[in-house]
Chains A and B, each alone.
Chain A
């Protein structure tokens, strides 16, 4: 069942992150950077696609999936448009998520106030 596989794969990817939090002094920002880069790298060597086929959203929802999206986008665009696609493909594929984060982030800052001041 795909939901169980998504749970399993997504959970294990998060466990990897938790291991880094526990045993290294990496901050969450560094872990996110590492995961997105690792996602690109694993996609390039062909290891991430099988994980996506098996785990569905369990592989695409973690930040490594963001890297997968970037790498796949770049590859597809290069096939269609040549070298210019290397520049446009990744960002274009990820643009929905990036714009959503910016717009919803801005709206949240208008509507809500941070509680850390208290």
Chain B
């Protein structure tokens, strides 16, 4: 009886924390990575006097470098276990999805192992991302053309 009551209690309590806690972790880690990005961006704009576009590129490159380094040291995967989507959704997660299989498939060689497998996740992202942007570009071009703005 006591155990049943306990199980009931566990059932009542656990789904909530199983949902809320990962969300909070994702929020804080994801937010922290973006805040770091904002810091790098300000350094690029103020100290290196980069324009907006270059500062954005500088930010991405720095974050990707840091992600590659921490993935190499095995620390990013630890962060991933803790943060879930908080470490997957930022660009550092994209970099991690390139670096991690590159390291893992080194034993299959540097061409079909590292070279091919690093696009396991990045490949689909680029296929859909670039395709969507090309589609948008063509539609935008047609709109300009019909509107007589070209």
Q: What residues make up the interface of A, taking CB atoms closer than 8 Å to B? A: 2-3, 6-22, 28-29, 31-33, 35-37, 39-41, 43-44, 55-58, 60-67, 69-71, 73-75, 77-79, 82-83, 85-87, 89-91, 93-94, 96-98, 100-102, 104-109, 111-116
Question: With A13-B89, A19-B23, A101-B94 known to touch, is A32 a contact of B121 (CB < 8 Å)?
Answer: yes
Question: With A100-B64, A104-B64 known to touch, is A32 a contact of B94 (CB < 8 Å)?
Answer: yes
CA distance A68 to B102 in the complex (A): 27
A14 is contacted by which of B68, B86, B138 (Cβ under 8 Å)?
B86
Cβ-closest chain B residue relative to A83: B141
CA distance A58 to B78 in the complex (A): 23
CA distance A86 to B118 in the complex (A): 27
B61 is contacted by which of A16, A29, A83, A96 (Cβ under 8 Å)?
A96
Q: Closest approach, in angstroms, between the C-beta of A115 and any C-beta of chain B? A: 5
CB <8 Å contact, B98 and A101? yes
CB <8 Å contact, B138 and A58? no
Chain A residues lying within 8 Å of B53, measured Cβ to Cβ, are 93
Chain B, residues 7-26, CB within 8 Å of chain A (1/0): the string is 00000000000110011011
Number of interface residues of B (CB under 8 A): 78
B112 interfacial by beta-carbon distance below 8 Å:
no
CA distance A64 to B128 in the complex (A): 12
CB <8 Å contact, B93 and A63? yes
Question: With A57-B37, A60-B56, A63-B90 known to touch, is A21 a contact of B132 (CB < 8 Å)?
Answer: no
Q: Closest approach, in angstroms, between the C-beta of B21 and any C-beta of chain A? A: 10
Chain B, residues 114-141, CB within 8 Å of chain A (1/0): the string is 1000101110111011101110111011
CB <8 Å contact, B134 and A66? no
Chain A residues lying within 8 Å of B68, measured Cβ to Cβ, are 101, 104-105, 107-108
Cβ-closest chain B residue relative to A43: B136
Chain B residues lying within 8 Å of A40, measured Cβ to Cβ, are 129, 132-133, 136
Chain B residues lying within 8 Å of A33, measured Cβ to Cβ, are 124-125, 128-129
B49 interfacial by beta-carbon distance below 8 Å:
no
Chain B residues lying within 8 Å of A8, measured Cβ to Cβ, are 31
B79 interfacial by beta-carbon distance below 8 Å:
no
CB <8 Å contact, B30 and A14? yes
CB <8 Å contact, B144 and A57? no
Additional A-B contact list (17), CB under 8 Å, known A31-B85, A32-B124, A90-B130: A15-B85, A16-B85, A17-B89, A20-B85, A21-B84, A32-B89, A56-B41, A58-B38, A62-B30, A71-B132, A97-B91, A97-B94, A98-B126, A100-B60, A100-B64, A104-B68, A108-B72
